[in-house]
Amino acid sequence: MIQRFIELGEGYSDLYELLELTTANQHRLQHMLALHTKIDNKELTSLVVVLKPTDPGKFQPLYICREGIPNPNFCQNKRYELFAQTASKYSKQIYELSVKPSSIFYEKELYYQYLIGILRLNHYLLPLQ
C-alpha cells in the first residue's frame, strides 16, 4: 500500500479546498487530524484529512494544510472552526497529536516519512505491508 501526503498549502484559502475534498470524498473519509507544532515560538497546527485506500491500487492519500493555522488550544480561529464543523458534519473525531516542525528536516519528504511513521505507530494508518 502506498500512503502519501498531498500538500495543498498552509491553510489559508487552500483550507477551503481541503474541506471540499472532504465533502466530495465523504464515503472514503477515514480520519481527520490536527498536528500541533511550535515554530519560532508560534504555536501552529497542520490539518490533515486521511482517506481510505483506493481499491484497486491501494493508494491512501493524506491531504494536508501544513503549519499555517494557529493552534486552537492557544488561539481560537475561524479556519479551525470550519474544520471542526466539517468533522462534526461527518461524525468524525479530530485526532490531535504534537509533532516536530517540518523546518528541522532537510527535505519535506523526510518530514512526511516521519509523520507517516507516527501515524502508523498510533494506528491511524495501516502498517507497511
Residue 129 lies in a domain: no
pLDDT at 129 over 80: no
pLDDT of residue 127 exceeding 90: no
pLDDT at residue 55 in the model:
87
pLDDT tens per residue across span 50-76:
999 998 888 999 999 999 999 999 999
Using DSSP, state whether 74 is helix, strand or coil.
coil
The CATH code of the domain that includes 71 is 3.40.1530
Within-domain flag for 104: yes
CB atoms within 10 A of CB 109: 11
Domain presence at residue 74: yes
Domain for residue 77, yes or no?
yes
Distance of alpha carbon 129 from alpha carbon 126, whole angstroms: 8
Q: Is residue 75 part of a domain?
A: yes
Please indicate, yes or no, if residue 101 is contained in any of the structural domains: yes
3-state DSSP helix/strand/coil % of the chain, to nearest 5 = 35, 35, 30
127 within some domain:
no
pLDDT of residue 21: 97
Average of per-residue pLDDT values in the chain: 95
pLDDT digits (tens, 9 = 90+) for 90-121: 999 999 999 999 999 999 999 999 999 999 99
- Give dist(CA 105, CA 127) in Å, integer: 23
Considering its fold, how many domains does the chain have in total? 1
Query: Which segments of 13-89 does DSSP mark as H helices, in order?
Result: 14-24, 78-89
pLDDT above 90 (res 79): yes
Range of the domain at 8: 2-120
Per residue in 5-46, pLDDT tens? Answer: 999 998 888 999 999 999 999 999 999 999 999 999 999 999
Residue 78 falls inside a structural domain: yes
